[in-house]
Chains A and B, each alone.
Chain A
Amino acid sequence: MILGKIRFSLLCVAAFWIIWPLFTMFNEGMRVDLGPMMSGRGSSYVGRFFQAQGGIRYNPLTFIRAFTFENFPRAVFNSTVIAAISIGLALAVGILGAYALARHKFKGGGTLTLSVLMLRTITPLAVIVPFFIVYGQIGLFDTYIGMGLVYLIINIPIVTFMMRAFFADIPQSVYEAASASGASEFQILRKVALPLVIPGILATMVFAFVATWNEFLFAQFLSGVQVKPVSRGVWSGFAEAIESFKVLDFDELNANATLALIPALALAFMIKKYVARGFTLGSAR
């Protein structure tokens, strides 16, 4: 019993370690410095040290500003459109490939798996230069289509490996029964295999969506003002702050980060069962 109590309290410590930064993020987002408007009134000593506290108030002003001036909903819309284009294409391409890889043994299958794995391991920075040049030439820079295409680099490996694992989960006898009853190759995929993996497809979609939502590098360099996604909105950051003589506002960063986290977290909880599988390329169940 004493062991159980020790275990419980250690888990409480771990939970605190997780919750505290998240709470701080929200908390900092709620802090609003009204110092310039009410100079002097909020100044105080903390310990022995003079702190020009201004008037720090606890209210959701920064969150409200994110929705009004900073146009957070637009960023959410951009992210969603980009993710929809990218995930749609990745699913169309990846499901077929994953089905073939899981179901059939064919020459070149190993090489294909290896190339998808390569796509998973190459650094985005290696391909960003050609994308940058080509997008500039053919006018795909700062467009939904262009961003959707470039995010295929992340989404195709996710879809291929996750779906491959889901197809491999279907017992071989199901396929045998289907072909014994005279179903054609395409009918087996459409009428037998696909209905069985619909939960898997949903999980894959959510997983890919969260990955796209959180991706930062492509967003930073291949989007302009038109299709600026959420992950770039979170880092309203230093480069901009330095160029525009704007002070980097941690309240704003934290408020945006909280807002960006909420949908991703809600979606991730929906596919909790499959997350380990997604991150291990389909090997953990």
Chain B
Amino acid sequence: MKAAYLYVAPLVIAIVGIGILPLGHAFYISLTDFSALRPEPEFVGLRNYQDFLTAPFFWNSVQVTTIFVVGTVVTEFLVGLYLALLMFGEVRGKKVFDKILFAPIAISPIVMGVLYSPNVVLDDLNTLLYYGLCISPICSDNTGVFLNTALPVVYYGMMILSDVFVWGPLMMLVILAILNNIPKEHFEAADVSGATSFQIFRRITFPAVIHSPILAAMIVLRAVDNFRAYEIPYTWSFWLFQERLGAPVDTFSVVMFKLLSSVDFPLSQIAAIGILLTVFSVTTAVVVMKALTKSWEGIR
């Protein structure tokens, strides 16, 4: 198959040019002490890696990143499954709901950070809770703020909610695609044998969704994406007035972002963190590859 090699040659060149060479360059930089203060880099070995792994903000970032990734992926799956079950089959106004639930997909993540900020949606939410519902005894404690953004449960909740706002409906689309692939005969047979709707869910729908390689691929991709997410946590580090390193919402990416924005511009440190994250994501890529290969074979 000589033609195949001819076809993939530009792709290979592009991958080397924009992927592998920059990564190699980043790895080289990460072994030096290159920064704005030291434009003539010296070779320092693995010191940057050591610095990062022993930095006080390292474990904080591990914790924040884990909470964010697990929280978003689990919530997105649950919301997606819930919406998909509501939308599956005949329902009044399906076309309209279809359009509305599709809308968040085009939103930029940085906008989500702004939109769910304490000044915009959270403010509405507070107004609603405080003046609208007026749940006592909270109403009587004169603070005027119901959801205190200093509480971890509030800021993690809002960060996760803003991510779910975009990706929950998308998960719904994916799960609906899986549900539509279930042969109609299964449901007909269940109807004939008099199964309740809960039994249908437990015996047909749920197993089909859970065992689908498409869902597996989607979930792993979401986990990878959120592992490197920076927009939403980055904006939240501002909403919480935490511009220092090691703030309560610093994921790995936000740490790098803050280093990039800092004055001494420690490029070698950033490169070291980047290489560590890349090692992690390449490992994940191998895992996703397995799930994806299954799903690609499934659709043939």
Which residues of A pack against B, CB within 8 Å? 3-4, 7-8, 10-11, 14-15, 17-22, 24-25, 28, 47, 49, 89, 92-94, 96-97, 99-101, 103-106, 109, 112-134, 149-150, 152-153, 156, 160, 165, 168, 185-186, 189, 210, 213-217, 221, 231, 234-235, 238-239, 250, 253-254, 257, 260-261, 264-265, 267-269, 272, 275-276, 279-285
Contact = CB atoms under 8 A, between A and B. Distances in A.
B73 to A, nearest CB: 14
A122 B19 contact: yes
Closest 5 A/B residue pairs (Cβ): A126-B274, A97-B11, A100-B7, A214-B108, A123-B228
18 contacts: A7-B86, A11-B87, A20-B121, A47-B131, A97-B10, A97-B11, A112-B11, A130-B21, A130-B22, A156-B14, A156-B18, A160-B11, A186-B3, A235-B110, A239-B261, A268-B106, A276-B177, A283-B298
B289 A14 contact: no
Which of A19, A186, A283 counts the most chain B CB atoms within 10 A? A283
Contacts of B102: 268-269, 272, 275
B218 A18 contact: no
Contacts of B231: 216-217
A126 B278 contact: yes
Contact of B114 (A116, A126, A213, A254): A254
B215 to A, nearest CB: 9
B174 A280 contact: yes
B69 interface: no
Contacts of A214: 106-110
B150 interface: no
Given A24-B121, A221-B260, A8 B92 contact: yes
Contact of B296 (A11, A215, A282): A282
Interface string B164-177: 01000110011011
A280 B25 contact: no
B165 A123 contact: no
Contacts of A17: 165
A116 B106 contact: no
A261 B106 contact: yes
B26 interface: yes
Contacts of A216: 108-110, 231
A125 B174 contact: no
A211 to B, nearest CB: 10
A129 B274 contact: yes
A127 B10 contact: no
B284 interface: yes
Given A210-B106, A280-B218, A283-B292, A269 B10 contact: no
A126 B18 contact: no
A210 B102 CA distance: 14
Contact of B281 (A8, A122, A133, A284): A122
A8 B23 contact: no
Contacts of B115: 21, 24-25, 254, 257
B11 A261 contact: no
A264 B165 CA distance: 16
A53 B217 CA distance: 50
Interface of B: 1, 3-5, 7-8, 10-15, 18-23, 25-26, 29, 83, 86-87, 91-93, 96-97, 99-111, 114-117, 119-121, 124, 131, 144, 165, 169-170, 173-174, 176-178, 197, 213-214, 217-218, 221, 224, 227-228, 230-231, 235, 238, 253, 256-257, 260-261, 267, 270-271, 273-275, 277-278, 281-282, 284-286, 288-289, 292, 295-296, 298-300
B92 A4 contact: yes
A105 B300 CA distance: 14
B295 A283 contact: yes
B103 A129 contact: no
Contacts of A18: 100-101, 103-104, 165, 169
A125 B7 contact: no
A221 B116 CA distance: 24
A12 to B, nearest CB: 8
Contact of A8 (B1, B93, B282): B93
A279 B104 CA distance: 14
Nearest to A22: B103
Contact of B282 (A122, A165, A239): A122
Contacts of B221: 120, 279-281
Given A104-B3, A281-B221, A283-B213, A118 B26 contact: no
A11 B111 contact: no
A14 B79 CA distance: 10
Given A117-B288, A280-B217, A123 B277 contact: yes
Given A126-B23, A284-B173, 8 more contacts: A47-B144, A109-B4, A123-B278, A130-B23, A210-B106, A235-B110, A276-B174, A283-B213
A126 B26 contact: yes
B121 to A, nearest CB: 5
Contacts of B275: 126
Which of A103, A117, A124 counts the most chain B CB atoms within 10 A? A117
